[in-house]
Amino acid sequence: MKAFRVMLRMEIHPNKRQEFENTWRHVATGIAREPANRGQTLVRSVEDENVYYVLTDWADESSFRTFELSEAHVENRRRLQPFRTGGEMIVTETVYEVPPAPEAPRDATPADPAPGDPGGEPLAFIGLGNMGGGMAHRLLDTGRALTVHNRTAAKAAPLAEAGATVTASPAEAAKGRSVVLLSLADEAAVEEVLFGQVADVLAPGAVVIDTSTVSPGYARECAERLAGRGLRRVEACVVGNPFQAREGKLRVYTSGDEEDIARVGDILDALGAQVVHLGAPGTAATLKLIFNLLLGAQVASLAEAVAYGVAAGLDRDRLLTSVAESGFSSVVLRFRAELMRKGAYEPAFFRSTLMEKDLRLALGDAAVAGVPLPVLDSVRERFVDVNAAGDGDKDASVLLEHTVRGGRAEAAS
C-alpha cells in the first residue's frame, strides 16, 4: 500500500493558541514514536490565526487505522479537545512526490547547534542510579553527547560503553556546560553536588534540570539560590520505572519558568512520553510526593491483605495472582504483586529507603499546610522498620516479608 497523509483542520478557541501549540507539540512527540509514523507538521492560517492544519504522514493506511483505534489516540484527542471549537479530518493518499532541486554548495559556516541538540554541545548528567542511568541511556540513544558522573563508578561503565564520557567528579562533568541533569537520592546529595561542586563551574545562564525527588520547600529554595547565581532551574519530576526511563516513556511533570522549560523542551520530550507543566517551583515536587504517598499506601495495604489471607489459609501465590487480576488492582499494584509473588526484591525498582524518605518529606510538607495524614504516617513507620532491619536497599515490596507471620525475623536473617 502507498504512503498517505492525514490532514486535520482545527479551529481553536481565541486566546488559547499558545496553550494549544505547546500541547500539540507534546502530543506529536508521542505520535512520532509510532514505527509507522513518517512525520507531522503544524501550520497556522495567515487569514485566521485561530485555524490550524495538522499534516501527519503514515507508512500506510492500515498503520494509521490501527493507531486511530488505540488508547494513545483517544488520550491525544482528550488532551487537545479543550482547545478546539471545530474542524474536520481528511485522509489522503500520496500519488506523486517531486523533491526540490539540490541547493548549490555554500561557503558559509553553519551556525553552531543549540545546547542539547543532537550533535551539539554535550550535556552533563550526574546520578546514574536505576532511573538516572535509564534516562542517560535514552539521551545517548537520541544522539546527544553526554559527560556523566556517578558516585559509584561501576554504574557509569554501561554509559561509557554506550559512548558517554565518564568523569571523576560532578564538577568535571558539569564544567562549562549549558545544561546539566541531576538524578540524585535526596536533598543532602543535591546540596553536596549542586551547590558544593556544580553551580560554580557551569556556563553563565546554564539550566539545571533536576529530576531528584526533594521537598517542595527545598525545590523553591534551590530555584532562588540558583537564580542568585544567574543560573536557571527546571524542576522535572519523573514518574515511571527504569524500563520506561530507558525507552523515553516516562511521565515528566515540570515547574519553573516556562521560558526555561521551553529552552530544554527537546530534552524533556526525549525523556517522556508525556510532559506536563504544572506552574511555579515546588508544584511538581508536590505532585511527585503525592504519587509516592499513593504508592506507599498501596504497597502497605497489599502486604497487610496478603498477610491476612496467608494466615487464614490461602495460598500466597494464588492470592497475589487473584488480587493482580481483579478489578481492585492497578498497574502499580499488579507490578508490586508480581515482585512479591516471585520474592524479587533485588535489584530494587524503588528502594525502601527512598520510599521512607519520600513519605517523610510529604508528611512534613502536609503538616506545614495544616493537613494531617495519619494513615500515611503509619505507612512511613512500617518502612522505618524495614530499613532498620537492613532491607533498605531492597524494593519497597519487601514490606510483605515484614508483614506476614514470621516474615520480620526471616527478612532480618
**pLDDT tens-digit map of 195-216:** 999 999 999 999 999 999 999 9
Q: What is the pLDDT of residue 105?
A: 52
Which of 233, 229, 230 minimizes the C-alpha distance to 220? 233
What contacts 60, CB < 8 A, 6 or more positions away?
Answer: 1, 2, 3, 4, 36
249: Cβ–Cβ under 8 A, 6 or more apart, which residues?
A: 240, 272, 273
Q: In the prediction, which pLDDT does 413 show? A: 43
Instruction: List, in sequence order, every residue forming a beta bridge with 54; answer none if it has no partner.
Output: 8, 42
CB atoms within 10 A of CB 3: 15
**pLDDT(410) > 60:** no
Alpha carbon of 90 to those of 111, 262, 279, 281: distances in Å? Answer: 38, 31, 36, 42
Sheet holding 37-44, edge to edge: 37-44, 51-58, 4-12, 84-93
Rounded Cα distance, 191 and 37, in Å:
43
What does the pLDDT read at residue 108? 44
Whole-number mean pLDDT of the chain? 89
* 180 vs 65, residue with greater confidence: 180
CA distance 262 to 237: 16
Closest CA to 383 of 393, 373, 368, 370: 393
Say what the pTM is.
Answer: 0.70
Report the alpha-carbon distance of residue 383 to residue 398 in Å, rounded.
Answer: 10
